[in-house]
Every structure is written in structure tokens, then in C-alpha cells.
Amino acid sequence: MKKFLKTKKSVIFLLGHWTIGGVERVTVIVANELLRRGWKVGVVAFEIVNPNLLKLLNERVDVSELSFPAYSMRNMRDLRSLMKRRSVSIVVNQWSVPAPITMMLRIAAPHGAKIIAFHHTAPNRNKRVMESRGFKRVLYEVAFKLNLKLVYWLCDAYVVLSESYRRVFKDAAGVRLVTKVCAIPNPVNSCGDESVKKENLILYIGRMDRTEKRVDRVIDVWRRLEPLMRDWRLELLGDGPDRVDLEAYAAGLPRISFRGFCDPSPYLQRAKLLLLTSEFEGFGMVIIEAMSARCVPVVYGSFLSAKDIIRNGNGVIVPMPWNCDEFSRAVLDLSMNEELMKNMAEAGYLSVDRFSPQKIVDQYEALFAKV
């Protein structure tokens, strides 16, 4: 491994649309840590939609923008030129599906370069499939499964976010062996600051989306709770395609605010509770960020990796199927038991060191050496 790290230390991260989501945040954290360890690091996106998170990248990280449509000879030439110029040995493909992206990388990559596909959500869930109906849904399901299988055979390693997703990927892709699949969780920077006083504040942090994030469920919970928790307030951080509709859905409810896209750290430092009611997640980075700030997460158990994060009394998982009354009761019980909430907050804070950038990037480097 040491020999590899001395001789082949050039990596690029490939993304589709660079926006303000979890994949971009992970890319920033890992890229900066690899750079600190002596790697040459580049980030390539087909389109930079929102450059805000690029400001957090070390200035020595090379950033390149391609163009859409993605599958073009121009992009192929630009990728080949870029990777040859930078003597790239590792390609981290953050846009693992669709398969033609991996095909492009395989053709454009220098001889000997390794391609690692990172799947940043549950391997058996796809937003396009979920939003479609009838025969179109069947076609999308078949196409999605085929894409998973093709990417698996084209890449040198396939990374999922939890050991529990290895079996899920095997079933979703329909492959017999998953020897190239490994699990590496997302790294998270700490948001903690003990000097900030906690308030009776509940947060939602994430994309304003009804299909995957199901922010409407957070509003439904608050609709039940606000008459019983009159000294508490709910603040929702984030932006997205359904924000206007969600604000209209919450109209008239007291003590609820939509803050838009902003740095969540100051809010997490003041908040006591975080709610996550997604239909599915890959990992839920915001859960760990909340724990690092001693903010207790209450989450819907719709994704397997939740049990990797929330355990030993450091948060609450409300079991499936979705039940608004049960979720509301869990939040209310915590709000009425200050000692329990403090104990959970401390347990969460002590549990997040395993997701530090240093420990997670150790796993990245071990994988780079292995392939």
C-alpha cells in the first residue's frame, strides 16, 4: 500500500450536476483530506449548477466543467485530455448510474487507471422509478437493474454506504457474486460548539422534495405537535423543487419557518431535535452532523443504514410503515423528558468519531491500494 501511495497519487471525482447536496459535501470533505495527504486531486462536473460548495474546496483542487449532453465526443476528448495531463490513477465516479458514464470513463481513462463507482443512495431505490406509473415504471425498473449490472461489470470496485446494502445491491442488480462491492460510509465534519446554549428548536435539514425526502411528513408531525409544544418552534433549512408547495402546505401553522439554503451549523448548535422523514436515504449525513452538535435525531426507519448510525441510545428510529401519530409521540416524549434528551445527545456526540474525515479517508486509501 505504501508503495502505491508513493507512486500513484492522482485522483479525480466525477459528478453530473454540481449542486448543494450530500454528494457534493462528501466530495469536498474527501477531496480536501486527500489533498492534505499529498494526493493530486481534481473535481469534474458535467454542469456546475450552484457553485456555493466549491468555495469550501482547497484552492489547489483542480475544478473542471464539461457540458451536456453528457454522452458526446467533445466530453470524451476533454476527459481523456484531462486525465492524461493529470496522470490520473483513480477515478471516483460519484454518478454511478447511468452505465454509459462508466463506459465513457473506461474509454477515456489512461491505461492502468482504476474506476470506482460510489452509490450514494439505497441501491434498490430510484427516484425516476418511484415517480413513474404503469408500463413506464416497469420499463424504468428494467433499465435501472440493467444499469446497475453493467456498472458493476465495468468498474474496478463498487462502493455502497453500508454493509447492509451489499445484499440489497446483489438482489437489485441481479448478480451472483458481489466481490467488487465494499462498504464505506460518508465522512462528516463536526458541527459541535458547547458554548452555544440549546433552545427549544426542532430542525429539518435537506432538500425540499416530496418524493424522496417527504418534507410534507415533517409538516404533518408539526401540525399535530404545535398545540402541545407551545414553547417550541420548527425551522426547515434547504431548498428544492417543492419548496413553494411545501410553504403553502404549512401556511397558517404557528412557529414554523423556512430558512432556505444556509449553513446548518449555527442552527444545529442551538437545536435540541432533528427530524428526518424520508421515503428513503442512502446514508443520512445530517443525522451525524446533528449528533456532533448534541442534537438528537428522530428518524423514520425507511433506510437500512439508519441502524448503522442510530444505536445504543443515541437517537430514535420510528419503525416502518409510516405512522404520523407514532412519530409525533416519539418527538413529544423526548420534549417532555429533558434528562433523556440530554443523555441521548451526549451518546450521539460520543458516537460520531468513527465518521471523522480522517478515519473514512483511511478506508478510501485502503480501497485505492487494493484495486
**Which residues make beta-bridge pairs with 90?**
11, 114
pLDDT in tens, the chain (371 residues): 554 445 569 999 999 999 988 899 999 999 999 999 999 999 999 999 989 899 999 999 999 999 999 999 999 999 999 999 999 999 999 998 899 999 999 999 999 999 999 999 888 887 787 778 888 888 988 989 999 999 999 999 999 999 999 999 999 999 988 899 999 999 988 887 778 899 999 999 999 988 889 999 999 999 999 999 999 999 999 998 899 999 999 999 999 999 998 889 999 999 999 999 999 888 888 999 999 999 999 999 998 888 989 988 999 999 988 999 999 999 999 999 999 999 999 999 999 999 999 999 999 999 999 99
Residue 118 · residue 68 · CB < 8 Å: no
Contacts of 263 (CB under 8 A, 6+ apart): none
3-state SS class at 257: strand
3-state SS class at 326: helix
Q: What is the pLDDT of residue 110?
A: 93
Strands (E), 60-217: 62-65, 90-93, 114-118, 157-160, 181-183, 201-205
3-state SS class at 131: helix
How far apart CA 94 and CA 236 sit, in angstroms, is 27
Tell me phi and psi for residue 10, to 5 degrees. -135, 120
